[in-house]
Amino acid sequence: MIEALSHITFIVSDLERMSNFLTTIFNAEEIYSSDGKEFSIAREKFFVINDVWIAIMEGDPVSQKSYNHVAFRVAEANFDACLNRIKALGVEVLKGRDRIEGEGKSIYFYDYDNHLFELHTGTLNQRLRSYRNSAI
């Protein structure tokens, strides 16, 4: 049976640029760099974001943008500071979708290799409660 999420891997064109992206936006801690050794299929680095293992591997990234994404929860009190860190990197920030009250706020943004990320202030229970209470 599934116990938990193990890790998320992103294929990126530039390990150092993505390392800066992860540490700047997510306060990710770098815990491993292959430094020329290839135990896997390519050079790689591992990070931890609040107990979530993120792996980045050097390679050809996805060729086009989509709505497939990874979302991380942030406190609403930190929302504006997060947005400022994202904008400081000059990456593409999307206009958020319309939301119903109580659903939480989100920032959607692409990394340099067309991976979509979201920072969201809500929880699943808040969203479900908002949907139940919505007049739509």
Please give the CATH number for the structural domain made up of 1-59: 3.10.180.10
Catalytic residue among 3, 16, 44, 103: 44
Closest to 31 measured CA to CA, from 7, 11, 64, 59:
7
Write out the residue limits of the CATH 3.10.180.10 domain(s) in the chain.
1-59, 62-136
Active site residue 44: yes
| Crossing angle of the two packed helices 15-26 and 79-88, in degrees rounded to 10 | 160
- Return the pLDDT at 25: 95
Encoding tokens for residue 42? 């390519």
pLDDT, tens digit, for every residue of 11-51?
999 999 999 999 999 999 999 999 877 778 799 999 999 99
Mean pLDDT, range 82-94, rounded to an integer: 95
pTM above 0.85, yes or no: yes
**In what side-by-side order are the strands of the sheet with 116-120?**
69-73, 116-120, 106-110, 93-94
Domain formed by 62-136, architecture? Roll (3.10)
CA 67/CA 40 separation, integer angstroms: 28
How many percent of the chain have pLDDT more than 70? 96
SS3 state at 80: helix
Q: State the average pLDDT over residues 89-95.
A: 94
Quick one: tokens of 46?
């591992």
